[in-house]
Amino acid sequence: MDLGLADRVYVLTGATRGLGFATARYLVDEGARVIVSSRHQEHVDAAVAELGGLGKVQGIVADLTAPDTAARLVALAQSSFGRLDGALLSVGGPPPGTALSVSDDDWRMSFETVFLGAVRTARVIAAALPSGGAIGLVLSSSARTPIDNLGISNGFRPGLVGVAKDMADELGPRGVRVVSLLPGRFLTDRTRAAYGDPADPTRPRAGAGDDIPLRRVGDAREFGRAAAFVLSPAASYVTGTSIAIDGGLIRAL
């Protein structure tokens, strides 16, 4: 199926590794152009090279907590490729701990990094999108069911789903879509300590997916395919919803 991605342009934050990078890979393979961002220059440089170089990809060091980040991302897309059609906003993980055990400082810091940074970036990018544009927020399965020892995530992720729904309502008449993506357990650089095999961290450890209906931890490429579809014109009637990409992990209806 042709996803209609040829020559379209997308911004992907936190996308030099993991789920964001896997999505960038599929977008580029389908003919799109992408802007990838990360907080580390070496990660940006490596991702740009691996994704095909500056003719297909531009990279930028950026942090969603900085008020000017969203405007910089929009400006780079437009100056490099002449347009902007959508974004995948990966929202970083807050520190662990139960809701009762984490400190006020942890809550405040996480509000800036997990919540406000994502909302601000989505707002600025939405203003620059034409009809047919799309924004995906990469959240977590904690948006629907709490995860042990991740009290801050359990608090903020459902709120971001609500914000995305509100944005979808407001942007719908303009033809701009907003979708929340809820990944379950995937083996990435960030999760190898939790899900990787101690003998070979590139493979899931035994038992890591036993409580998932598909009985396995996901591959980042599986997320990337689904996210690329959601951002594409092929998903033109999908908005205002949250989509679990989790092998059936979430048990809530």
pLDDT (mean) for 46-70: 95
pLDDT (mean) for 193-218: 89
Q: What is residue 30's three-state secondary structure?
A: coil
Q: What angle do CA 50, 54, 57 make, to 5 degrees?
A: 65
Count the neighbouring beta carbons within 10 Å of the beta carbon of residue 46.
Answer: 16
Domains of the chain: 9-185+220-240 (3.40.50.720)
Question: Which of 3-12, 94-103, 194-203, 238-247 is predicted with the least confidence, judged by mean pLDDT?
Answer: 194-203
Exposure on the CB side of residue 110, measured as CA atoms within 13 A: 21
- Continuous H helices in the chain: 18-29, 41-50, 69-81, 104-110, 117-128, 151-171, 192-195, 220-231
Residue range 177-187, pLDDT digits in tens = 999 999 999 99
State the pLDDT confidence band at 240, using cuts at 50, 70 and 90: very high
State the pLDDT confidence band at 155, using cuts at 50, 70 and 90: very high
pLDDT score for 92: 76
Residue range 156-179, pLDDT digits in tens = 999 999 999 999 999 999 999 999
The single-letter code of the amino acid at 197 is: D
User: Radius of gyration of the chain from Cα atoms?
Assistant: 17
Alpha carbons 23 and 34: distance in angstroms, whole number: 10
Alpha carbons 128 and 136: distance in angstroms, whole number: 15
Cβ contact 155:100 at 8 Å: no
pLDDT score for 192: 83
Of the chain, the percentage scoring pLDDT greater than 70 comes to: 100
pLDDT score for 196: 86
Alpha carbons 178 and 160: distance in angstroms, whole number: 11
pLDDT score for 2: 92
Q: Which residue has the tokens 């780079």?
A: 76
pLDDT score for 253: 83
Asked if pLDDT for residue 198 goes beyond 90, the answer is no
Largest distance between two CA atoms of the chain: 53
Residue range 86-126, pLDDT digits in tens = 999 997 789 999 999 999 999 999 999 999 999 999 999 99
pLDDT score for 201: 82
Q: What is residue 94's three-state secondary structure?
A: coil
In sign, the C-alpha dihedral spanning 179, 185, 186, 188 is: positive
pLDDT score for 195: 85
DSSP annotation of 252 reads -
DSSP annotation of 195 reads H
Q: What is the pTM of this model?
A: 0.96
Average pLDDT, the chain: 95
Q: Which residue has the tokens 């959508």?
A: 86
Which residues have C-beta within 8 Å of that of residue 211, sequence separation ≥ 6? Answer: 249
